[in-house]
Chain A
Amino acid sequence: MAIKFDQPFYSLSDETEQNRIIELWEAEKHGGLWEANNRLPLPLTFLMALIVLTAFMMTMPIWGQRPTAHDFVEHVALMDTPEIQAIEDPVAKMARVHEIAYQRADSRVKASLERHPITWDDLLNIAPEIKEAQASGKYPLDYYSVLADTIVLANFEGNPTADGSPERKQPWWDKGYTIDVFYVTYFFIFAFFVCKRLPHFSRKPDMSSAK
């Protein structure tokens, strides 16, 4: 059962252990079945690595961010302009507001506006709340999430600010990711040990005498 580390990518088992496993392998048929000692094909190894990379890249909280009050400040400002006031149809009003606000927005806000369209009625509801939050100045506007026709102070515990309090906005990295890094690392170390304790894949069991 000794573990050897002189050729870790060949096998972590010593010769005696490898022979013992192969002999057992060759002696037994499980209800007429047996297993070959083939390697994980190289393309699959790369696919595994790609999956891990994708898992982190695709799930980062920068994707799927919730809309914040900050995203709609321009909309609120535009509501009372003569141009918008002159339009009667609420759908047309909103379309024009959106068009102008979208042009003025930076790329990050643009993405959020595309993903979270709101109606004129929603805007009428959130506008006083956004103005109140602006006037109070207690928190930055991007600390407030827009939930349909209301805004609420987000419950995120993001990165620490200068005074030590946490930001109330979704961080691009959080402790869930840190846990994942360790968890995935431990898994692959464990999986490496489990697989490399087996005889090297070049040693094919001869099943002709299996019972």
Chain B
Amino acid sequence: MLIKYLFAKNEDIPAGSSSVFFGFSAIFWFVVGTGLGSFNAAKLAFPDWVTGSEMFAFGHMRQVHVLAVILGWISMAFAMTMMYMTPALGNTKLWSEKLGLWNAFLWNVGLSIGLFLLWMGITSGREYSDLIWPVDIIIFFGVLLPLGINVWMTIAHRRTQGIYITNWFFGACVFMIMVVFAVGQSPELFNLTGLTEAYMTFWFAHNVLGLWITPVAAAIAYYTIPKLTGNPLYSHRIGHLHFWSIIAFYSTPASHHLMSAPLPEWLKSFASVEGVLILIPAVAFVANILLTMKGKWSMFVENIETKFSITGVLLAIPLNMQGGFQQTRAINWYIHGTGWIVAHAHLALLGMSTFLEIAAVYFGLQQILRRKLYSLALANFHYWFVLIGFCIYWISMTIAGLIQGAGKIYEVPYIDVVVAEHPYMIARWVGGTMVFTGNLVWLYNMYMTAREGTVVPAGRYAHEMAYER
């Protein structure tokens, strides 16, 4: 339906079209990504599940799951929020809806090609940078650059003098992700090998998390929580502290991912201190949002978007406590290379970040479509299935990681460790499948919202209206 606007004049395209395109694409990729996650988890829980075909081997499917979630769900949800929050915060329109639509279209095409090639086993072979260089070029020029241009130009054409904190993050993070992506893919282009390749790979992986996924998710909360509660953001100056400490302390500790590698020890020492200092932006962010909730805590129970948002903010606490300390020499020695890290990565992506994005997608789609959410019951089903599913996943993988760590240190035979962690692999599959089920329901709920949601009158917010189902 939105494809018809690709060749329309910019002024003929309804405001918010690109945001809707990105929003539904994001939910679709979330369903695909978590479906693949459930499939892959089943392979670890039940080793005889789908065998005999290379295409469905864990080694082929794992990176398709990872990149479908990062580039499909998370990043498209970010693009969706940028397409509606950036102009709203500048009291203006999106600079180019047409560019936004082409951006969403090319993003879906590029990602589909990339994931299909990964599925076929055509990969650069580097974790998180798995896509081959021709696809990297599509991602850079078809995905990141148009997104950046639209965000920056919208900020430049704003009708306010000040720039709200969310737009600081949006403007800065789209720039940083371009640099991170371009530099991070360079080992393939320049044929870098060995320790240099390893370092560059994890420099990329670290910064995708630190300068894209977590700060943009936080920026979204700076919009949704004041908007939903009607309270002003608690403190502009804490916002400064958060923003600048992200820049200073999250951009520097990449080598803490390689604490056992023969990198210079001084570099590890430097990175390890910076790694703990990641707690500074985390504390600033969590404090600023929770203090903004003052007097409105009932909304945490009553309002679905607030429920998702605040859950995401609360998950930022264990996320950063783990992240800050697990990279220190003493702890990393034990948990490196175990399921603990897998649990932590899911706490970041499926926990903190995803919950904040889901809230923004719920809120944004209702506002742009001018439709009240179709069913609160389905939304609550979605919330509890994603939350309980995630918790089962996170806790089981954390325990499995501790078992693996003990097995590693005490030289327990590998097969004994596999047997010991088997129950947790089943729990992992159960949790992941719950998340997938919740997302299927979400996709249906949003589709029905677009089709049959109650019309929201002009000048009203969807969340102010009563539910009819």
Could you list which residues of chain A lie within 8 angstroms of chain B, going by C-beta atoms?
Answer: 24-25, 28-41, 44, 47-48, 51-52, 54-56, 58-61, 63-65, 115, 117, 119, 155-157, 170, 174-177, 179-180, 183-184, 187, 190-191, 194-195, 198, 201, 207
Contacts and interface: CB of A to CB of B under 8 A. Distances in A.
Given A64-B333, A184-B277, A191-B245, A155 B161 contact: no
Given A30-B88, A35-B232, A176-B267, 10 more contacts: A32-B227, A35-B236, A39-B237, A48-B280, A54-B276, A55-B274, A117-B409, A183-B252, A183-B270, A187-B244
Interface in B216-252: 223, 226-227, 232-241, 244-245, 248-249, 252
A36 B330 CA distance: 41
17 contacts: A31-B88, A33-B223, A33-B226, A37-B237, A41-B287, A51-B276, A59-B273, A64-B330, A117-B410, A174-B266, A176-B268, A179-B266, A180-B274, A184-B277, A187-B244, A191-B241, A195-B237
B165 interface: yes
Given A64-B329, A174-B269, A30 B241 contact: no
Residue among A24, A58, A61 with max Cβ neighbours from chain B (10 Å): A58
B232 A34 contact: yes
B455 interface: no
A59 B237 contact: no
B150 to A, nearest CB: 17
B283 A48 contact: yes
Contacts of B328: 58-59, 63-64
A40 B89 contact: no
B277 A195 contact: no
Interface in B243-296: 244-245, 248-249, 252, 259, 262, 264-277, 279-280, 283-284, 287, 291
Contacts of A25: 162
Given A30-B90, A35-B239, A176 B160 contact: no
Contact of B325 (A58, A157, A183): A58
Given A35-B164, A39-B237, A194-B244, A52 B90 contact: no
B162 A177 contact: no
Contact of A180 (B91, B164, B241, B273): B273
B391 to A, nearest CB: 26
Contacts of A36: 232-236
Contacts of A177: 266, 269-270, 273
A157 B85 CA distance: 51
Contacts of B280: 48, 51-52
B236 A37 contact: yes
A30 B164 contact: yes
Contacts of A24: 161-162
A112 to B, nearest CB: 12
A51 B265 contact: no
A195 B287 contact: no
B265 A170 contact: yes
Interface in B151-170: 160-162, 164-165
Nearest to B223: A33
Contacts of B409: 115, 117
Given A30-B164, A58-B325, A174 B265 contact: yes
A70 B404 CA distance: 28
Residue among A155, A176, A207 with max Cβ neighbours from chain B (10 Å): A176
A187 B276 contact: no
Given A59-B328, A115-B333, A40 B266 contact: no
A176 B265 contact: yes
Contacts of B269: 59-61, 174, 176-177, 180
Contact of B411 (A40, A119, A191): A119
Contacts of B273: 55-56, 59, 176-177, 180, 184
A156 B265 CA distance: 7
A55 B277 contact: yes
A34 B160 CA distance: 12
A195 to B, nearest CB: 5
Contacts of B186: none
A55 B249 CA distance: 12
B122 to A, nearest CB: 35
A180 B265 CA distance: 14
B332 interface: yes
A156 B277 CA distance: 25
A52 B165 CA distance: 25
B277 A51 contact: yes
A198 B236 contact: yes
A64 B332 contact: yes
Nearest to B244: A191
Interface string B318-331: 00000001001110
B235 A35 contact: yes
A157 B160 CA distance: 54
Contacts of B233: 33-36
Given A24-B161, A28-B162, A51-B277, A33 B89 contact: yes
B89 to A, nearest CB: 4
Contacts of B85: 31
A40 B238 contact: yes
Nearest to A207: B232
Nearest to B331: A64
B262 A155 contact: yes
A69 B320 CA distance: 36
B93 to A, nearest CB: 12
B330 A63 contact: yes
A117 B91 CA distance: 64
Nearest to B239: A35
Interface in B415-456: none
B248 A183 contact: yes
Residue among A48, A58, A59, A174 with max Cβ neighbours from chain B (10 Å): A59
A198 B249 CA distance: 23
A176 B248 CA distance: 16
Nearest to A186: B248
